[in-house]
Structure 1
Amino acid sequence: MTLFLIALAALSWTGLSLAVLAMVLRRVGTPRQAAWRAFGIGLVVNTISAWYASPGEPVAAVILIILCHLLLLPALLIAARREERP
């Protein structure tokens, strides 16, 4: 149960951070570019943070962060496509 709650918290934090970052980056370029930039920046920053935050199991934490980002990428790209439609 604890592992499930940790995974759910990681997924929700990743979704929130990607959505806010994409919203901020949307002012610089197109929504699709903002989605990809948010994904890249979030993946790098959260992976490094997870690696240093979990001294006992850094590989498991990094895998969890990568999976959360990959699960949210399609939703982010669908939202970007929806914003690009006239």
Structure 2
Amino acid sequence: MTLLFIGLLALSWTGLSLAVLAIVLRRIGTARQAAWRAFGIGLVVNTISAWYAAPGEPIAAVILIVLCHLLLLPALLLAARREEMR
């Protein structure tokens, strides 16, 4: 149960951070570019943070972060495509 809670928390935090970062980056380029930049920046920063935050099992923390980012990438790109179509 705790592992499920940690996974859902990581997924929701990743989704929130990617969405906010994409909104901020939207001002510098297209929506698709903002989505990819948000994905890249979020992946790098969160992976480094997870590596140092989990001294006992850094590999598991990094896998969780990468998995969360990969699960949210299609939704982020779909939102970018919808925004570009408007």
Q: Which of the five TM-score ranges fits, normalised by the shorter chain? A: over 0.9
Summarize deviations over 1:1-46 as a string: whole Å, max 9, x none: 0000000000000000000000000000000000000000000000
SS of equivalent to 2:32: helix
Q: In structure 1, what is the Cα distance between the partners aligned to 2:8 and 2:57?
A: 18
Summarize deviations over 1:30-79 as a string: whole Å, max 9, x none: 00000000000000000000000000000000000000000000000000
Which structure 1 residue ranges, 4+ long, deviate > 2 Å from structure 2? none
Q: In structure 2, what is the Cα distance between the partners aligned to 1:71 and 1:85?
A: 23
Q: In structure 2, what is the Cα distance between the partners aligned to 1:9 and 1:48?
A: 18
Which stretches in structure 2 are left out of the alignment for 5+ residues? none
Taking structure 1 as the reference length, the TM-score comes to: 0.99
Q: Aligned residues, how many? A: 86
State the identity as a percent.
85
Taking structure 2 as the reference length, the TM-score comes to: 0.99
Which stretches in structure 1 are left out of the alignment for 5+ residues? none
1:36 matches 2:41: no
Partner of 1:17: 17
